[in-house]
Amino acid sequence: MSYLDNILKSRRDTRHFTADEVPDEVIQNALQAGHWAPSVGLTDATKYYIIKSADVKSAIKNLFLDYNKKAEALTDNPEQKEHYKSLKLEAIEEAPIGLIIAYDRSVLNQFTIGTVGSNEAVKFSSVCAAQNIWLSLTEQGYGMGWVSILNYYQFKKILNLPEEIEPLGYFCIGKPATNYDNQPMLQQLHWKQKSEAPDCTEIKNIMESSIVDLPLQSAKTFKTTADFDRLLKDKIDSKTKPLGALGVLETLAFQMATVFQTLEPKITNPNIVVFAADHGIANHGVSAYPQDVTRQMVANFLDGGAAINVFCQQNDIRLSIVDAGVNYDFPTNTNLINAKIAKGTQSFLHIPAMSEAELQLCFEKGKSIVENITKSCSNCIGFGEMGIGNTSTAAVLMSVLTGFTIEECVGKGTGVDDEKLIVKQNLLKKAIENYSGQAELMEQLAYFGGFEILQMASGMLTAFENKMLILVDGFICTVAFLIASKINPTIKNNTVFCHCSAEKAHQKLLDYLNVKPILQLDLRLGEGTGCAIAFPVLKSAESFLNKMASFESAGVSQK
């Protein structure tokens, strides 16, 4: 066995340290080893932060203790819970030096070789650096322990790390107080047995990859009997009011009863789902806000501070947040549906936004999300979105799928000024001109699509198949509906368009679809807020149909 083999075998995640100081030379050697690690596209994106302050260590220790309590609660097995509590999982305050190894994701704002397939290649480079540092410290007679049981958002906040810096965790460095009998600590303490050999499988064949076969007309078409229509119309007309006096409410009541196939329709367990993702086109300055606002707003949704949280709470609507492709790694124990395809699409200015495999995965994820929601006996689902740059993506999709010029489809989005609007129009026009693919729906979606938009389209199709009432929010969600309707036109029967937004192309798209929205409030927020605000109107339609007296029951003379 070589000297290197001995180092690799003896390397352990150190939790016990002596009080010996760590010479500066040892740290510099280790950091140099990290710097020598592979770096995708020679980005030099790995950053290091040294911590010696007792106050800083104490604050990080408190973060660990808080999250460790949550970790304890993840198991219902009392014996396993006690075993977990007995483990020593950090040495934040005992280790002489703390090290933060992080990566700078702002390098992705420029063209970076090796990241076209996955933005995560930048993070992988930093993991390679961490490995080299670990090996260097071991060779010098020192050890390192990796602490990852942290709320990373708070971790960054208390350390005042820039938004673009993403830490891998907190690393404890010092002289090991034990060699753990040359075993991983968790193995020595009988938490889990490490396998003796690596798990390696030879792949000898390839699988043919193809887009999910989505028929242009669903087999599950909308059907009602003439008798049902007549009985429902009679019920609406017999209410104590002039014929048609409740206007749109009567239309909604008829639609709701038809979708649910009952003369006494009732919305149960309504759910608004907000799909969030980042867009490569945002790197070209098409938005008034930086891309990181997507991540920040998702955190705001999870903290309950956004408009959609307020309106859902007001109307007793369940809110689900989906990470469809945000350029950020959220903590795994957040109340977030993880449907991440990748960390944002590629910029469709020059290359496809996504691969065919990613497109297929979007449809699979969107379907799975809605199918899981139906298991809660929900029969009403609203769709919302969040993603810096997604009005640009939606505008291009609208232009390509309807034949409208890009100038007719582009608006101010998050609020760009007039000068920037012209730049945005010209850039998107150039992107469409650069497209040399076929005029086939799936190929167009892969080239210009957004992860959240396609997951919404798939979710809408699945909601229709499950006889749900579908609530569509603003411009971007209506583009998702446009895609869904190209696949199955009868989806319109189940769909309620909640409002017409202030985004100029929205009214044009609603006219193209030949649909009328419930509200006109000059909203342009997204998030599904239009769905939540329109929801009481739907409940009013439900209430009058089910509770309002008829002329006969009230003893009121008809006209």
Question: How far is the C-alpha of 401 from the C-alpha of 150, rounded, in Å?
Answer: 45
Query: Taking the mean position of all CA atoms in its chain, how far away is CA 207?
Result: 28
174: β partners? 143
- Sheet containing strand 97-104, edge to edge, reads 46-51, 97-104, 165-174, 143-147
Active-site annotation holds for 465: no
Q: How far is CA 403 from CA 293, 353, 446, 485, 492, in A?
A: 31, 20, 18, 16, 20
In the DSSP assignment, the letter for residue 196 is S
For CA atoms 528, 530, 535, 538, give the dihedral sign: negative
Question: How far is the C-alpha of 506 from the C-alpha of 333, rounded, in Å?
Answer: 37
Q: Which H/E stretch holds residue 147?
A: strand 143-147
Structure tokens, 420: 């920037």
Strand boundaries in 452-531, DSSP class E: 469-472, 495-497
Orientation of helix 475-487 relative to helix 441-448, angle to 10°: 150
Measuring CA to CA, which residue among 80, 78, 101, 180 is closest to residue 138? 180
Structure tokens, 153: 């958002």
Burial class (CB in 10 A: 0-12, 13-18, 19+), 207: exposed
Of these residues, 443, 527, 542, 552, which one is catalytic?
527
End-to-end, the C-alpha distance of the chain in Å comes to 100
170: β partners? 100, 147
Question: How far is the C-alpha of 140 from the C-alpha of 42, rounded, in Å?
Answer: 27
b/e map of 91-128 (b: 16 or more CB within 10 Å)?
Answer: bbebbbbbbbbbbbbbbbeeebebbeeebbbbbebbbb
- What are phi and psi for residue 527, nearest 5 degrees? 70, 0
Question: How far is the C-alpha of 335 from the C-alpha of 320, rounded, in Å?
Answer: 8
Question: How far is the C-alpha of 244 from the C-alpha of 239, rounded, in Å?
Answer: 10
Residue with tokens 């309950």: 304
Structure tokens, 313: 């709470």
The greatest distance separating any two alpha carbons of the chain, rounded to the nearest whole angstrom, comes to 101
Catalytically annotated residues: 527
